[in-house]
Amino acid sequence: MASNTQMEINVGYQGEGENLFAIADAQLKRGYDALKLDDNLRTILSQPKNEIIIHFPVKMPSGEVKLFKGYRVQHNNALGPFKGGIRYHQDVHLDELKALSAWMTWKSALVGIPYGGAKGGIKFNPRDYSQEELEAITRRFTHALGSNIGPEWDIPAPDMGTNAQMMDWMMDTYVHIHSSTEREAARRVVTGKSLTCGGSHGREAATGQGVVYCIEEWAERKRFDLDGATLAVQGFGNVGSNVARIMARKGASVVAVGDHSCYLRNDEGFNPHKLAEYAREHRQLKGYPGGKEITRDEFFEVNCDIMVPAALELQILEKEAQVLKAKVVVEAANGPTNLGGEAILLERGIDIIPDILANSGGVIVSYYEWLQNKRSESWYKEHVEEKLQRRMKRVYDRAYRRAGELKVDLRTACYALALEQIRNVYDARGVWP
């Protein structure tokens, strides 16, 4: 299955030697099997439609020219334009983006928005570059992508290592390389833009907010009181910090956190606002005065009710799954659990709210942003949140009920629901010519 070099696959990842696309494929197979889906659809969905790899030179502000490797993988567009984030990370590689693009297809289909799936990225560490350099890299990448993206064709958004500022640069560059009569429409070529440039209220917190809606649905069914609950959050970027902040409002406290720099513990509970401010300012958690430093192993063993991986993929493997004490793992990150880890969690009676459901709030509000741009509207934050909450509750409930009907776990039920949507379209339209 690996279509890139082994060296690329292995660099820096926790699940060394694991191929993320093979994991995505195995998860999908469980969905097929639950539905007894026909072989032709399996064949169509077995690989992405397009895999674009671009080597592009950038003239840095110093005058030096550097070569970067950028990707855009377009998985499927049966339900609507390709949609998904752009990731800046030194370990970005093709099979990772193939898996992430497939997850976007299932995510959009599951939550009922008219999009397909895509994912892109640039293989470099954005922390090593200044704002000026990041702007040059982002603009040159957008220019190189050219008409491979488009407001009705493929719509990027933020992901790990990117933010609203980068989306603004992408939008601005795209708009300038297209004809002036198309300019207004072209602005919705990316979502997750800043409010000033046509972004939506509530988009920045949307993924974290959606994670919390899922936790509430889980707690309601378990008759579990979130007031006084304890949380461990891995990754304290946009998603992790928003989960911590919103959960604090519900009376829950974060007792352990971690990021690329360190892991911290505080049995009294961290102040999520101070922690987020520190993380934003220092671009890491290391050095935060309000907690005791612990090891990564100790983090996964910590006593807590809810474990929220909100960082990179492949973090909860067999070893972590065996010692985890939480009642539920909420996959705010994409692909944080490998197959062995998942089997152990389920056997130990630890629930999993799967990524394609748990973190779907981001792309849902991206859809609302795109709709607002299309209609030249700006919705109130309350309106966006209300719509998001209603949709996520409905999808969670449908997935929960489908799991019961099919007698499968929640992840498999989510795949089954997504596949049913896509199957219906292929059944109606056929494969032609």
The residue ranges that bind ligand GLU (CB under 6 A) are: 83-85, 157, 159, 191-192, 334, 359, 362-363, 366
Give the C-alpha distances (Å, rounded to integers) separating 275 from 162, 258, 293, 297, 319.
20, 11, 14, 21, 28
Please state the closest distance from residue 84 (CB atom) to ligand GLU, in A. 5
Q: Any long-range contacts for 172-181 (C-beta under 8 Å, 24+ apart)?
A: 172/139, 172/197, 173/138, 173/139, 173/142, 173/143, 174/142, 174/149, 177/143, 177/146
Is 119 considered catalytic here? yes
Please state the closest distance from residue 200 (CB atom) to ligand GLU, in A. 11
Which helix (H) or strand (E) segment holds residue 257: the answer is strand 253-258
Q: Which of 83, 107, 119, 123 is catalytic?
A: 119
Closer to ligand GLU by CB, 110 or 302: give it.
110
Please state the closest distance from residue 369 (CB atom) to ligand GLU, in A. 8
Closer to ligand GLU by CB, 157 or 243: give it.
157
Please state the closest distance from residue 361 (CB atom) to ligand GLU, in A. 8
Please state the closest distance from residue 363 (CB atom) to ligand GLU, in A. 4
Please state the closest distance from residue 53 (CB atom) to ligand GLU, in A. 20
Find how far residue 162's CA is from the centre of its chain.
12
Tokens of 277: 């401010």
Tokens of 154: 């493929």
Closer to ligand GLU by CB, 159 or 259: give it.
159
- Residues 231, 308 contacting (CB under 8 angstroms): yes
Those residues with Cβ within 8 angstroms of residue 423's Cβ, 6 or more apart along the chain or in another chain: 35, 37, 41
Nearest to 371 by CA among 350, 387, 395: 387
Closer to ligand GLU by CB, 99 or 304: give it.
99
Closer to ligand GLU by CB, 159 or 320: give it.
159
Using CB positions, name the residue nearest to ligand GLU. 85
Which helix (H) or strand (E) segment holds residue 35: the answer is helix 20-35
Give the HSE-up count for residue 164: Cα atoms under 13 Å, Cβ half-sphere: 18
Q: What is the edge-to-edge ordering of all strands in the sheet holding 82-89?
A: 50-59, 65-76, 117-123, 82-89, 154-158
Please state the closest distance from residue 239 (CB atom) to ligand GLU, in A. 9
The SS3 call for residue 303 is coil
Please state the closest distance from residue 241 (CB atom) to ligand GLU, in A. 16
Residue burial 88-119, b: 16+ Cβ < 10 Å; e: rest: bbebbbbbbbbbbbbbbbbbbbbbbbebbbbb
The SS3 call for residue 164 is helix
Q: Which residue has the tokens 């612990």?
A: 294
DSSP 264-302: EE-TT---HHHHHHHHHHHSSSTT-TTSEEE-HHHHHH-
Closer to ligand GLU by CB, 160 or 229: give it.
160
Tokens of 55: 């080597």
Closer to ligand GLU by CB, 83 or 201: give it.
83
Closer to ligand GLU by CB, 159 or 204: give it.
159
**Active site residue ranges:** 119
